[in-house]
Amino acid sequence: MSTKNGTSAKLTEPLFGTAENARMIGSGPAIWLAGDPEDLKVWMDRGAAGIVTNTVVLNQMVQKYGQITEVTKRYLDITDKPVVIEIDGHSTEELLSVGEVFTKMSDQIILKIPATTYALGAFSELKKAGIPTFCTTIFTLPKQLPLLKQE
């Protein structure tokens, strides 16, 4: 960062303060953290919106902590903010069943579900039940087309 006289200045404070302040004034992204609960603990009170997982992170954490439910408990122990858990299943019913395991753990849980045709039924049922969900990102048109054909 350069000062008015052209000298360089070290930026020691974020331009808008915390991420929470940036969101309040309408600028900046919501920052979601991913990784080891032990590593994230120190960062949770510094403006993070919450914790988000994906299959890669969860597989790594399972190697260290055991079952995914144990990893989830560790995330819940370090924050009162939302914790997004990515789930998987091969049918609407399986997604709902797996999702129920996590949503019974805490109201902080948001389910992240793969964008598939059978997931649409799960999204619909979860919405009716008032359970918050995220959808995985779709990068290719061939994956989008089947979803667009659904109501």
Distances (CA, A) of 71 to 51, 61, 93: 12, 7, 24
The answer to whether position 135 is within a domain reads yes
The answer to whether position 44 is within a domain reads yes
Structure pTM?
0.75
Q: Tokens for 57, please give them.
A: 């992170």
Distance between CA 128 and CA 131 in Å, rounded?
8
pLDDT band, residue 136 (cuts 50/70/90)? confident
The answer to whether position 2 is within a domain reads no
Taking phi first (over 0 means left), then psi (-120 to 50 degrees means alpha), and beta for anything else, what does residue 47 get? left
The answer to whether position 53 is within a domain reads yes
Nearby residues of 66 by Cβ (< 8 Å), 6 or more positions away: none
Domain tally, the chain: 1
What's the CATH code of the domain at 63? Answer: 3.20.20.70
The answer to whether position 102 is within a domain reads yes
- 50-96 pLDDT, tens digit per residue, is 999 999 999 999 999 999 999 999 999 999 999 999 999 999 999 99
